[in-house]
Amino acid sequence: MHLLFLFLDGVGLGTNDPEINPLARAQMPTLRALLGKKALIASTAPYHGEHATLLSLDATLGVEGRPQSATGQATLLTGINISAKIGYHYGPKPNKDIRRYIEQNETTLSWLRARNKTATLLNAYPDGYFKGIDSGKRLYSAIPLAVTQAKLSLFTAEDLYAGRALSADFTGKGWRKILKDETAPLFTPKNAGKKLAELATQYNFSFFEYWASDYAGHRQDMDWAIKQLEAFDGVLTGLIETMPKDLLILITSDHGNMEDMSTRKHTKVPVPCLLIGTESSRKQFIGKGLKDLADIAPAIKRVLI
């Protein structure tokens, strides 16, 4: 069994209001086909179809305030309700309290490594990222921190060029436009999805972090958000067309944001837990039920044990 965790930062299950929710407005035919012609919005969950299951997860974790990235991501990675443990939500980068939980507790990645299973983060990072980390000017977010704590290597520009990893926007356009790297490989969204399927089947567990969704919410840029979502739907198209039967795709988030363009702040709405794969693998993942972010890590272990 292979499991691909597509992490969409800052995507909640919002209302069916195209004025504020790009997920209710964007043209996403592949996603809608998976969900019985419905959008990725609150009223669609729960849904169980031939190829996909959609559940909603509580991202507030029983703690007052708006959910934040560091506590949400650390909870997804460890299966520990870290917001409840420390008494507050925090982000975007882990502080010392959150780092302690990641460093001193078993994450999904370290659990897999201890059992001689293969795991990776499929994002490639540019050279400037590593220089910032080494100089102390940049801090790891929760996901790359968990990767390094599990003694796994982060992928570099060399890995991107060699086809071992993908850029954070899937297509490579960001590396060319923002980083001015004219040698970065370019993909159409559909071909990026096909590449993602190819890479995911090389590991027992693979993780991909997509942060542009959260960025779109903070910018309150509806047009840009729709473009990102429609490109992501193209990625899903290529991924689903080429995925083998022994691949289970998990799509979830750490908190809401993008689904409500009326605010720049994170929201308290539930986040999606979208599973794509065989009915048996989806049922095994769900087990006796999933209610919040802390249930994700145990579910991953249940499938990959």
CATH number at residue 158: 3.40.720.10
Residue 88 is assigned to a structural domain of this protein: no
Residue 126 is assigned to a structural domain of this protein: yes
Which of 248, 253, 206, 201 lies closest to 112, judged by CA?
206
Q: What's the rounded mean pLDDT across residues 112-126?
A: 97
- DSSP 8-class letter at 58: B
Residue 227 is assigned to a structural domain of this protein: yes
Q: What's the rounded mean pLDDT across residues 70-95?
A: 98
Report yes or no: 47 and 36 within 8 Å, Cβ to Cβ. yes
Kindly report the number of other CB atoms within 10 A of residue 186's CB atom: 13
Query: How does the average pLDDT of the chain come out, rounded?
Result: 97
Q: What's the rounded mean pLDDT across residues 138-157?
A: 96
Query: What residues contact 19, with CB distance under 8 A and at least 6 apart?
Result: none
Residue 81 is assigned to a structural domain of this protein: no
Residue 75 is assigned to a structural domain of this protein: no
pLDDT digits (tens, 9 = 90+) for 245-281: 999 999 999 999 999 999 999 999 999 999 999 999 9
Provide the token pair at 120: 């990776």
The pLDDT of residue 90: 98
Query: What residues contact 57, with CB distance under 8 A and at least 6 apart?
Result: 252, 270, 271, 272, 273, 290, 291, 292, 293, 295, 296
The pLDDT of residue 251: 98
Distances in whole angstroms, Cα of residue 75 to Cα of each of 94, 144, 228, 262: 12, 14, 26, 27
Confidence of residue 189 (pLDDT cuts 50, 70, 90): very high
**Coil, strand, or helix at residue 179?**
coil
Q: What's the rounded mean pLDDT across residues 38-63?
A: 98
If you write DSSP's letter for every residue of 128-175 in order, what string do you get?
A: HHHHHHHHTSS---HHHHHHHHTT-PPB-HHHHHTTSSB-TTSSSHHH
**Confidence (pTM):** 0.97
The pLDDT of residue 185: 96
Q: What's the rounded mean pLDDT across residues 33-58?
A: 98
Residue 98 is assigned to a structural domain of this protein: no
Residue 96 is assigned to a structural domain of this protein: no
Residue 161 is assigned to a structural domain of this protein: yes
SS3 content of the chain, % helix, strand, coil (to 5): 45, 15, 45
- DSSP 8-class letter at 51: S
Give the end-to-end CA distance of the chain in Å, rounded to a whole number: 10
Cα 271 vs. chain centroid, distance in angstroms? 11
The pLDDT of residue 110: 96
Q: 4 — phi, psi (to 5°)? A: -110, 120
Give how many domains the chain has, as a whole number: 1
Residue 134 lies in domain: 2-61+107-304
